[in-house]
Amino acid sequence: MEQVAPKNVKTSKMLLNDALMKCLLNVHKLHLESPFGNDVVSLDFLQYRILEFIDENPSSIKNISLAGKINRKVVNSNVSYLLKSGLVEKQKSKTDGRGTVIILNDYGKEILKEVRKQVEELFSFSEQKYSIKQERTMISFFEDFSSAIENSVEK
């Protein structure tokens, strides 16, 4: 009988995909043609992750920051970019009338759908069979490479 990992445990394939995605999106932005015209939208890794998060969890900047363990100023500047790009909107919080939440609008949902297609294409190589040792080696490489990129950007 095949054993299934608990839902909160990531498989090595999932870890490999996460590490590769972070690495690739740190290296280059996703350039997408808008499904609504000739606009081009560029997203980096953090902006993509924010869109993914608020797709299921409309949230305040504070909650996005806490959930992602990211400095609130960094989240705020990225949300500002997403607002200017027309991908998200601010809406009065239903639980706290004084606050606002960031929501994904219809345009943002279409763009996120396109981004997800691109990401799937980037990972098409991962459908190949790799040994556990090969997957761990690749995960380690992509994580190290991504960290090196982040460290050089932060300086």
User: For 65-80, how does the pLDDT look when each residue is reduced to its tens digit (9 = 90+)?
Assistant: 898 888 899 899 999 9
Is 6 part of any domain? Answer: no
What is the reported pLDDT for 134?
Answer: 80
Contact in structure between 54 and 100 (CB atoms under 8 Å): no
What is the reported pLDDT for 123?
Answer: 66
Is 34 part of any domain? Answer: yes
The secondary structure of 19-68 as a DSSP string is HHHHHHHHHS-EEEE-TTSS-EEEE-HHHHHHHHHHHH--B-HHHHHHHH
Q: Which residue has the tokens 């995960």?
A: 139
What is the reported pLDDT for 40?
Answer: 61
Number of structural domains found in the chain: 1
Is 28 part of any domain? Answer: yes
> Could you give the C-alpha distances from 108 to 25, 31, 102, 143, in angstroms and in order?
18, 14, 12, 28
What is the reported pLDDT for 42?
Answer: 73
Of residues 70 and 45, more confidence is placed in 70
With a cut of 70, say whether residue 133 has pLDDT above it. yes
What CATH number has the domain bearing residue 81?
1.10.10.10
Predicted TM-score (pTM) above 0.85: no
Is 29 part of any domain? Answer: yes
Is 40 part of any domain? Answer: yes
Residue 28, token pair as written in the block: 């280059």
Range of the domain at 52: 12-138
Cα diameter, the chain: 54
Is 143 part of any domain? Answer: no
Is 150 part of any domain? Answer: no
